[in-house]
Chain A
């Protein structure tokens, strides 16, 4: 296979990863890394470097629209970014010291967990009107636009959310994925933020989180331009198309199919890790 053929195939695969990632809300990174390692036989370190770059592109692209529409809570975002960026730097330091087989096994486990989180029906726990002292001090409470006008909400359990965000950052830095599922879990379940705000604010934070670890990967030589180029452009175009058709498509069935694919990829990653092939 020549470089031209390889680049074209990687672009096409990344395009589908971005499309599926956008349609299901899981993000492109969780498919790109297994795709590159299992299908194209790329070393997992190059795969993580390329995936992180594509994660920055898609999250920044999507976040730009959400911020302008007023859904994103910038204060919650930047405050929790302290935790996610610290976690990301920690994750990258772990990754560069860890054996690639172990990395593949952890990746598989996280994949299964992400698929589970995305299939579970999300419960909106917002609507608790009590005021949390810490959230008030940090001015995290906010409002977002709804057809009937702006709806305000209160933020809760700030330390628990902050702690879980550190884990989300570590996973992102370790495996080169956005780890939006964990970020959303922290905000939905613990901090009791409304869906629209937690989803968009998670997206807002993913780019900064990925930037915090990608610098470490860049300086270690994990970011290869020839590989990152088709991955980034493919995932980005796929995600853009996905965002367009999201409005009309029935996502429940798609989510189920996608979760099955992810589960199979996860098993294969774990198997390859255990047998030392990755």
Chain B
């Protein structure tokens, strides 16, 4: 019983934005340092391993492309969990987390699209094909941008929180459907002309740098996310202080 209440107290401690700010101040430098270190190792490995005999040097794009694509999906999952946190547990930080994650997720998705396009040009001879996987990432990108626009359109964070949480969850539920329908659409129209990469298992030669880069990207995400959450909390405090200033002005004359 007491253990249970202790856990609850811990949980609500974390929920306290001030507590979070203190935690962030401690964790951020370490996390950032670790991220930089892993990026150094990952990039070193990426550029020193052998190029693919078919794809040549362009295969190195994979070390950026695949982690970005992975994070674009993980970020949305984080947002969906935060949205649940907003709606179900009414966790005060959940909305901050969701709001802060959207631009980061959009950036990673954009990075995945751009690197994919750069990779596609030498491989497929065109910047873009409406391949099922590419298309669903693009739809995900549009969803991110829509969420950012929604967040920007509403200046009251409390009101925006629930509305965007609902949208995030509907989007999350919809992602598998989009994925499925896009695959169905593509195979329906164009049975075999789209080139597909892979098929064979990834050579261990590529696996090491890829894994290091994936971990580095994940840490980068958490670094950015915590920093963005901190900024969002600060932004809200500044806003409320400004409103306070407006209310008290002209009163003591």
Partners in one complex: no
State the B residues within 8 Å of A (CB): none
